């Protein structure tokens, strides 16, 4: 059994900012022989001087490690850092974000149970709801993400678990966590919230009523696109159930990946602050462009649930979406012309990353399924990096390339096929409203 108790350093965390906690939290018990950094512990098993000491750890009476499929010192330090940032009592980690999602759902749901969620969760999560959970006898109801009354009505019919994702990927819809958690608890349901896009810097679902919060740590937590991982935080009893499922099924986080995630998290608050600011600058600029049909970003006043986002988030995040006039063919013309964006199936990195749902978040789905979810084929998911926001806008603006600003960069006019507006034009009232 993993040591899921609060670490001894917690008493000193009171009053510390998330920026400070990102650097220091969770590491105290892992530093050895004067090291200032958490070591990578590559050991399959851990030895004990006698059977009694071994048994105490094996039965959870004392902290320690038995076998690295179950727990590992480096992995534990990563779990502690996320746990403290989310204000949770316990945490356990996984090899990937989808392992965190799937292990949580399968650990908590069984034959005859009912789960309520929404239609446009991340594509892999959606496939669990449509394909895998029904195979084991779990009833799934997926509601319109923007219709809180419909979600509440579905919850009131009775369910074992309510699964939320906010903001959603890639249309950036926002769900009122406190409102839906209250409805779920009234029905006796467990509330799980995917906080990947928001991060603990911008939003803490547990404080809003969720029972469990999960992350694809591959994304913003790690922030450097060089390590896969997932994590779930919450109360000890629920986390212990998920941990037990994970330790038996074996979706264990690798120690080197845990180390890379820890290292990345030290700059989490700095990165998120920059990405918040840049996205909030780029989104209204995109609204002005005549070839941009809609912009999806909760920081825009025109967003359907901007009021909810303003209430439950401290920042609006570094991911936005925009659709192009001309649909998917326009996407295929525009993306290769961007110089300051990787065309890749990832988000949350220090570099800007862009791509359509057809090759990223919902590659597992057909065009018809994406349409049913309200995900346009002409949408570009744009994950803002830590580059200068002006350079990113210049990369998107037809009149001003990056000539003379970035050494060695060709000064091409990148998005002539997208926009022919001028800087002086006023905002256009065409922002997406969450649909």
Name the nearest CA neighbour of 72 among 290, 243, 220, 241.
Answer: 243
Identify the helix (H) or strand (E) that includes residue 97. Answer: helix 97-108
As a CATH number, domain 8-266 is 3.40.640.10
β-strands 292-296, 319-324 pairing: antiparallel
Residues labelled catalytic = 69, 122, 194, 219
Count of CB atoms within 10 A of residue 435's CB? Answer: 12
Whole-angstrom distance, CA of residue 214 vs CA of residue 216 = 7
> Do residues 142 and 163 make contact, with C-beta atoms less than 8 angstroms apart?
no
Q: What is the rounded distance in angstroms from the CA atom of residue 282 to the CA atom of residue 312?
A: 22
Please report the pLDDT score of residue 433 as a whole number: 38
pLDDT confidence of residue 423: 34
Domain boundaries, the chain: 8-266, 269-396
60 within 8 A of 3, measured Cβ to Cβ: yes
CA 151, 156, 158, 161 dihedral sign is positive
**Per-residue pLDDT tens digits of the chain, which is 435 residues long:** 333 334 444 456 778 999 999 999 999 888 888 899 999 999 999 999 999 999 999 999 999 999 999 999 999 999 999 999 999 999 999 999 999 999 999 999 999 999 999 998 999 999 999 999 999 999 999 999 999 999 999 999 999 999 999 999 999 999 999 999 999 999 999 999 999 999 999 999 999 999 999 999 999 999 999 999 999 999 999 999 999 999 999 999 999 999 999 999 999 999 999 999 999 999 999 999 988 999 999 999 999 999 999 999 999 999 999 999 898 899 999 999 999 999 999 999 999 999 998 888 888 888 888 878 888 888 999 999 999 999 999 999 852 223 333 333 333 333 433 333 333 333 333 334 333
| pLDDT (0 to 100) of residue 15 | 87
> Alpha-carbon distance 223 to 220, whole Å?
4
Which CATH architecture fits 269-396? Alpha-Beta Complex (3.90)
- CB-based contact 94:253 (threshold 8 Å): yes
What is the longest distance spanned by two Cα atoms in the chain? 76
Strand order in the sheet with 342-343: 292-296, 319-324, 379-383, 353-355, 342-343
d(C-alpha 149, C-alpha 134), whole Å = 25
């Amino acid at each position: 059994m993993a040591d899921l108790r609060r670490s001894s350093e917690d008493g000193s965390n009171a009053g510390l900012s998330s920026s400070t906690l990102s650097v220091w939290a969770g590491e105290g018990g892992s530093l050895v022989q004067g090291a200032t950094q958490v070591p990578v512990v590559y050991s399959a098993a851990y030895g004990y001087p006698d059977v009694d000491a071994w048994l105490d750890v094996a039965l959870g009476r004392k902290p320690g490690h038995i076998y690295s499929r179950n727990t590992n010192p480096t992995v534990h330090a990563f779990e502690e850092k996320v746990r403290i940032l989310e204000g949770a009592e316990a945490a356990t980690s996984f090899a990937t974000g989808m392992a965190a999602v799937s292990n949580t759902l399968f650990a908590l749901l069984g034959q005859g149970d009912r789960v309520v969620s929404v239609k446009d969760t991340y594509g892999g999560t959606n496939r669990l709801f449509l394909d895998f959970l029904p195979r084991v006898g779990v009833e799934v109801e997926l509601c319109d993400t923007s219709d809180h009354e419909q979600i509440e009505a579905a919850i009131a019919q009775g369910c074992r678990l309510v699964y939320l994702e906010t903001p959603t990927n890639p249309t950036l819809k926002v769900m009122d966590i406190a409102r839906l958690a209250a409805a779920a608890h009234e029905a006796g349901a467990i509330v799980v919230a995917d906080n990947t896009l928001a991060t603990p810097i911008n939003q803490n679902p547990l404080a809003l009523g969720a029972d469990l919060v999960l992350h694809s740590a591959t994304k913003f937590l790690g922030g450097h696109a060089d390590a896969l991982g997932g994590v779930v935080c919450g109360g000890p009893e629920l986390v212990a159930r998920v941990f037990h499922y994970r330790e038996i099924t074996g979706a264990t986080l690798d120690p080197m990946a845990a180390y890379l995630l820890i290292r990345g998290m030290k700059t989490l608050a700095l990165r998120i602050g920059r990405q918040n600011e840049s996205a909030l600058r780029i989104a209204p600029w995109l609204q002005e462009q005549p070839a941009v049909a809609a912009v999806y970003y909760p920081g825009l006043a025109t967003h359907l649930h901007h009021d909810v986002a303003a209430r439950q988030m401290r920042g609006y995040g570094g991911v936005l979406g925009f659709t192009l006039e001309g649909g998917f063919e326009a996407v295929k013309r525009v993306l290769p012309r961007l110089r300051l964006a990787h065309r890749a199936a990832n988000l949350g990195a220090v570099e800007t990353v862009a791509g359509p749902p057809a090759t990223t978040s919902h590659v597992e789905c057909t065009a018809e399924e994406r349409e049913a979810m309200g995900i346009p084929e002409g949408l570009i998911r744009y994950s803002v990096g830590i580059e200068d926001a002006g350079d990113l806008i210049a990369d998107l603006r037809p009149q001003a390339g990056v000539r003379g600003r970035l050494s060695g960069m060709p000064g091409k006019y990148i998005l002539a096929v997208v926009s022919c507006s001028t800087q002086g034009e006023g905002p256009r009232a065409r922002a997406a409203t969450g649909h």
